Amino acid sequence: CANGRCLAACAGECPAGLRCVDFGTGAWCTPLPLAEGAACESVTACAAGLMCTAGRCLPDCEAGCPATTLCAAEACHPRCASAADCRPGRVCAVFDDKGPHCVERGPGALGEPCLIGADCASGACFEGQCRALCQNECPAGARCVALGTTAVCLASGPAEAGAVCAQGDECASGLCLGRRCADPCPEGDACPAGTACRDRLGARRCVGICRLDGPQCSANEACALSPEALEGECQPAAGEVVGLACAADAECAAPAVACLEGADGRRCRAPCALYDGACPDGQACAPLEPDAPVGACVPAGPGAPLAPCAQGADCASGWCVASYLDGRCGRPCASDAHCPSGRCVDLARDPAAPLWVCAPLCADDADCAPPLRCRRDLEGRGACY
């Protein structure tokens, strides 16, 4: 018995539609792999490169989806503008921020829980509930909200754009994004304070933001940041995360930004604005990625800029540039203004992939600890590197 079916033993030949497969403990007549679009009941029923999704064998997303399809629920689904673009029995569905795509019509009634559009008779699943597709009209207490090339009815409340929210039915717009009520961006992208105009769910919308150097989150929230931007979105706080021991970045929820090694071991670190961000006493703002504006606060060591180092804990900057002269302390910079007693120089001397750090000032080589040399810029200013 396999996948709920009784299989017959075989010695090489099987009836049509079956093939003889040796499982090591015996050979059995098993169904041939199903082709794309065929009805299926189990994950093993479909041919290689296909997966059983919503009762049909569909291409999986691992190899990339063709331009006429999109990836939703791990399978490639045909794109559509309306049900007329889908084969009979299918509906043009919406799944949160995915574009509309053809799926099997599901049993879920409006308001019932769903994971994908295929779970719903309407074909529209948004924020875990089956929704009604709409053009303009919705029941009292709801509004028609555009999501890409289609729209669904979303319950709405009194809160205006920028107000703190936990779910969309608290907002007049029906959308809660980044823990703030989100409205379509007004002319000139002039969003209310604490929000910014961003591409979300197929349209330009005012979404709640937070910054290391600007608007902050409300109580019981934390600003989720990435190394690439000083700006993030508010999310529920995970408690006292900064300073906890960790093994990987995934263990460090906001407001922590990374799991980094320091003199106190690997711990979840607080974010900082790389060039001028403040860290607690005894800590320094170390870079997370090349040219990224967000760093992390780590324990500061004794080493001055370009002093020998083996790890970040050896450096006052918290950053050891292992690729330069077998390891040198680097203080990140974008201009001389970030170097109180030095110059901002490119250690790599490569315009295509620069490595900007602060270097001590010098008049000649005698001012530099070997093997550093006093190198001058076009204006004749010297720096040891």
Task: Label residue 362 by pLDDT band (50, 70, 90).
Answer: very high
More confident residue, 97 or 296: 296
153 in Cβ contact with 97 (< 8 Å): no
**Which pLDDT does position 298 carry in this prediction?**
92
Residue 221 has pLDDT above 70, yes or no: yes
Dist. CA 174–CA 155, nearest whole Å? 6
**Which pLDDT does position 363 carry in this prediction?**
93
For residues 217-222, average pLDDT:
77
For residues 49-66, average pLDDT:
77
Tokens of 136: 């303009």
Residue 320 has pLDDT above 80, yes or no: yes
Task: Label residue 22 by pLDDT band (50, 70, 90).
Answer: confident
Dist. CA 281–CA 258, nearest whole Å? 19
Location of structure tokens 């559509």: 80
pLDDT tens for each residue of 108-160: 898 898 887 778 888 788 888 888 888 778 888 888 887 766 688 888 888 88
Q: Residue 176: which H helix or E strand, with range?
A: strand 176-177
For residues 77-86, average pLDDT:
81
**Which pLDDT does position 140 carry in this prediction?**
86
**Which pLDDT does position 306 carry in this prediction?**
92
Residue 96 has pLDDT above 70, yes or no: no
Tokens of 154: 């979303």
Residue 315 has pLDDT above 80, yes or no: yes
Dist. CA 190–CA 198, nearest whole Å? 11
Whole-model pTM: value is: 0.57
Point out which residues pair with 384 in neighbouring strands: 374
Q: Look at phi and psi of residue 247 and say left if phi exceeds 0, alpha if psi is from -120 to 50, else beta.
A: alpha
More confident residue, 295 or 196: 295
pLDDT tens for each residue of 330-347: 999 888 998 988 999 999
Residue 3 has pLDDT above 60, yes or no: no
Query: What is the amino acid identity at position 299?
Result: P
More confident residue, 7 or 316: 316
**Which pLDDT does position 214 carry in this prediction?**
66
Task: Label residue 373 by pLDDT band (50, 70, 90).
Answer: very high
pLDDT tens for each residue of 44-53: 678 878 877 7
pLDDT tens for each residue of 254-312: 888 889 888 888 999 999 888 876 888 889 999 888 778 888 999 999 999 899 999 88
Tokens of 242: 């900064």
For residues 205-233, average pLDDT:
78
**Which pLDDT does position 357 carry in this prediction?**
92
Dist. CA 361–CA 350, nearest whole Å? 21
Tokens of 10: 């075989």
Dist. CA 301–CA 284, nearest whole Å? 9
**Which pLDDT does position 277 carry in this prediction?**
67
